[in-house]
Structure 1
Amino acid sequence: MSDLKQNEVQVSIIIPTYNESENIIQVLKTIGDHLPKDIATEAIVVDDNSPDGTGKVVEDYINDTQNKIGYTVDVIHRKTKSGLSSAILDGIQHSSGETVVVMDSDFSHPPKIIPQLVEEIKISKYDIAIASRYTEGGEVSGWSTKRKLISKTAKGIAKAGLGVNESDPMSGFFAFRRKILEGIKFDAIGYKMLLEILVKTKGAKVKEIPYTFTDRTRGSSKLDSSTMFDYVRSVWKLYRYGHTAKVSEPRTSIRFISKAGRFYTVGASGLLVNYLVSLLFADAIINFWYIHATTIGIIVSMSSNFILNKIWTFEDRNFEAKKTLAQYGKFVGFSSLGALIQLGMVYVMVDNYQFAYSLALMLAVIIAASSNFILNKKWTFKEKVWS
């Protein structure tokens, strides 16, 4: 260990890892190259029992470079792969710095940005500093169109459903003042810890710093279907958290966001209905052409969405036949606009860009659902748009 451990640690850098043996040592070295020498710093590597021995690689590095790297490096060996957010939370609990930095270990998050993040917390007195891909001056390099679409869709869901205002609430590269977490219980679901922090520390002062995200050159991406499912679970729990906290909220803006959140939550349930029904008809029953299967999925999900939105989102429990049929007709009409968008996207992504049907379907349903809220709020359920 470095002698810095004898001093009070000011900055803790949390680095979760899983199969990053090719990258982690160079990342640790590069962090040391950019750290201010007058700030006592520790890095905590949280390894999820990597099959490639990442944790052992870090442990050997610590022992071989004792007192030579300029800052403390520790490693936490977890027994199972328990998820990115929980790894970050474990790292935070084992750290002692007043300022905490979270970053990936694959060079997509450049260590040279760390001093800027720390400065915003320690000198400019912000509570949270986010390295942002989407604020002015930020960008993404090396991503496919598909990956960019997934990222922006996830960001849009977070901003619309959870009411966060930051341009990159999905960033995995950020710093925060430790004390803002006092008294907060974290669910630590999925891979976007920042989003949970932003939702549960409303009122915190946030600064975004632009940077260029560069996709990994070694190792493999951790983005898969289970990651997407965990994200949906996380957004749902955060929405419920925010809704409970705002039950008596008198402000129109918050009521609007809450109602929009319910609408998009229903949309998420419709996504699941649409996805399962479409796959059922495309693969499991009679092998429909994917366009026909998608159409059936749309019809079933429209019906379930109408009932849930009528009862829960717009709190209309008048089921008089004439009124309900009229509402259903309008709801289907407006939703059909989104359906046309969905069909077009599925066709283009599958036929022109060779997306897997299951992925194309999921992306198309998410994007199409976004066009329905305002029209149905105003014309189907007769509410003022801003209410």
Structure 2
Amino acid sequence: MTENQVSVIIPTFNESENICNVLDLIKEHLPRINLEAIVVDDNSPDGTGKIVEDYVKIKGNEEYPVSVIHRKTKSGLSSAILDGLKKSNGDTIVVMDSDLSHPPQIIPKMLETLRKTQCDIVVASRYVAGGAIQGWPFKRKLMSKIATKIAKKGLGINSDDPMSGFFVFRKKITEGLKFDAIGYKMLLELLVKANGVKVEEVPYTFTDRKKGSSKLDTSTIIDYCKSVWKLYRYGRQVRKTEKRVSVRFLSKAARFFTVGASGLGVNYLASLLFSSSLDMWYLHATILGIVFSITSNFVLNKYWTFEDRDFAPKKTAIQYGKFAGFSSIGALVQLGMVYYLVDGFSLSYPVALVLAVGTAAFSNFVLNKKWTFREKVWS
């Protein structure tokens, strides 16, 4: 490993129209950096790997060394990054896509942030102030937001964009880690498994590809779900050996609030459905929305948050009664706030609903932790 050298890992599959431009732009924006690029190609039918070889023959390595790893099959982005990591010589690793959606001109800022803050990972983020996404339809943006929310809350990740494919990290933090390399989100696995690392984020504008085709398909979504489940199980094993009470408490609270976020969706949609489609008075619609969300929240919290897998009818009925009772306290607060905000302040019903549901969340967590699932509050 060479100190102060930067290794840029670029996984490719059918990127013949973009890869040469990417390699040129890297050199253009990092002219004074000790640099190497490693292209990891998954046997692209369009000859991407061969194009990179020709690029090296024509331009040579006098500008900066470029190497190609030819893989026999399409084995996924995460495993491609790991193969590139094994061949890398630098102590600093940059991971980026090859479709020009990740602008190389951001890399110097990421490297400078890594140096100045002495952090371990710098994420190019679409979701911090100054970041943006261009060219995505609403459905794609919604899917990204949902996946990000699941990763942040469900896995307890401290990053606004854990689904980013554009990041920089110190190679040493991967020492001793065993990666599953499922699917497309290497950063997600790194954030979960590299305990205690310091993460910084810099904003950038993601611009959807202009050439080639997107790699997002059903298999990508399935791989993401598999990856999250394996990482959740990994985190669960870590939590079992975690001695810090604060960490255990916050971990469980994060899961409770994740369930609460799903309940917010159930509550919100059911309430709007009854109030608009059935022309029901908004308070009656809110009550029905609460009933729907209490039921879904109970099942998810019992199984996931508090890891109680005993669904014996009598025990479950008693727990549900307690859960509904404590949730009803929050419901009274919610109803009062909705009425107060709508009638007293003429606030729109959807906005008032969100504020009211959020206010009740923490008290519900503490009460149910202690009395419904029989756990110490600070544990």
- Please give the range of the TM-score, normalised by the shorter of the 2 chains: 0.7 to 0.9
Is the aligned partner of 1:241 residue 2:229?
no
**For the residues of structure 2 that align with 1:318 and 1:12, how far apart are their CA atoms?**
50
**For the residues of structure 2 that align with 1:48 and 1:8, how far apart are their CA atoms?**
29
Give the AA of the match of 1:242: G
**For the residues of structure 2 that align with 1:23 and 1:190, how far apart are their CA atoms?**
22
8 Å contact 1:377–1:385 — kept in the other structure?
A: no
Is the aligned partner of 1:157 residue 2:150?
yes
* Corresponding residue for residue 12 of structure 2: 17
**For the residues of structure 1 that align with 2:149 and 2:378, how far apart are their CA atoms?**
19
Is the aligned partner of 1:144 residue 2:137?
yes
For residue 244 of structure 1, give the secondary structure of its aligned residue in structure 2.
Answer: helix
Distance change in 2, residues 1:330/1:106 (3 Å): farther
**For the residues of structure 1 that align with 2:229 and 2:258, how far apart are their CA atoms?**
7
Stretches of structure 2 that go unaligned for 5 or more consecutive residues are 261-291, 332-357
* Corresponding residue for residue 287 of structure 2: none
Distance change in 2, residues 1:227/1:373 (3 Å): farther
* Superimposed CA distance per residue, residues 320-340 of structure 1 (whole angstroms, 9 cap, x where no aligned partner): 755533544687998xx9xxx
State the shift of 1:80 in Å.
0.3
* Corresponding residue for residue 120 of structure 2: 127
Aligned pairs for 1:324-339 (under 5 A) are 324-328=316-320
Is the aligned partner of 1:47 residue 2:14?
no
For residue 241 of structure 1, give the secondary structure of its aligned residue in structure 2.
Answer: helix
For residue 12 of structure 1, give the secondary structure of its aligned residue in structure 2.
Answer: strand
* Superimposed CA distance per residue, residues 270-329 of structure 1 (whole angstroms, 9 cap, x where no aligned partner): xxxxxxxxxxxxxxxxxxxxxxxxxxxxx9xx79x9667546643557767555335446
**For the residues of structure 1 that align with 2:212 and 2:187, how far apart are their CA atoms?**
24
Match of 1:211 among 204, 217, 226: 204
8 Å contact 1:260–1:373 — kept in the other structure?
A: no
Distance change in 2, residues 1:33/1:108 (3 Å): same
Is the aligned partner of 1:76 residue 2:69?
yes
* Corresponding residue for residue 275 of structure 1: none
8 Å contact 2:153–2:258 — kept in the other structure?
A: no
Is the aligned partner of 1:59 residue 2:53?
yes
* Superimposed CA distance per residue, residues 117-137 of structure 1 (whole angstroms, 9 cap, x where no aligned partner): 222234542211111111111
Distance change in 2, residues 1:317/1:227 (3 Å): closer
Stretches of structure 1 that go unaligned for 5 or more consecutive residues are 1-6, 268-298, 338-369
Give the AA of the match of 1:193: M
* Superimposed CA distance per residue, residues 22-67 of structure 1 (whole angstroms, 9 cap, x where no aligned partner): 1101111111111132x22100000001111111111111111114
Give the AA of the match of 1:254: V
* Corresponding residue for residue 90 of structure 2: 97
8 Å contact 2:256–2:365 — kept in the other structure?
A: no
**For the residues of structure 1 that align with 2:56 and 2:200, how far apart are their CA atoms?**
33
**Aligned-CA RMSD value:** 3.4
State the shift of 1:261 in Å.
6.9
State the shift of 1:205 in Å.
1.9
Distance change in 2, residues 1:239/1:141 (3 Å): same
State the shift of 1:207 in Å.
1.4
Give the AA of the match of 1:86: S
Give the AA of the match of 2:18: N
For residue 240 of structure 2, give the secondary structure of its aligned residue in structure 1.
Answer: coil
Distance change in 2, residues 1:50/1:118 (3 Å): same
State the shift of 1:250 in Å.
4.4
* Corresponding residue for residue 285 of structure 1: none
Distance change in 2, residues 1:78/1:218 (3 Å): same
Larger Rg: 2
Structure-2-length-normalised TM-score: 0.72
8 Å contact 2:130–2:204 — kept in the other structure?
A: yes
* Corresponding residue for residue 182 of structure 1: 175
* Corresponding residue for residue 29 of structure 1: 24
The count of residues paired between Structure 1 and Structure 2 equals: 312
Distance change in 2, residues 1:250/1:222 (3 Å): same
**For the residues of structure 1 that align with 2:226 and 2:310, how far apart are their CA atoms?**
31
8 Å contact 2:38–2:67 — kept in the other structure?
A: yes
Give the AA of the match of 2:125: S
State the shift of 1:265 in Å.
10
Distance change in 2, residues 1:385/1:20 (3 Å): farther
Distance change in 2, residues 1:319/1:65 (3 Å): closer
Give the AA of the match of 1:132: S
**For the residues of structure 1 that align with 2:310 and 2:36, how far apart are their CA atoms?**
60
For residue 246 of structure 1, give the secondary structure of its aligned residue in structure 2.
Answer: helix
State the shift of 1:259 in Å.
3.3
Distance change in 2, residues 1:385/1:235 (3 Å): farther
**For the residues of structure 2 that align with 1:218 and 1:324, how far apart are their CA atoms?**
55
Structure-1-length-normalised TM-score: 0.71
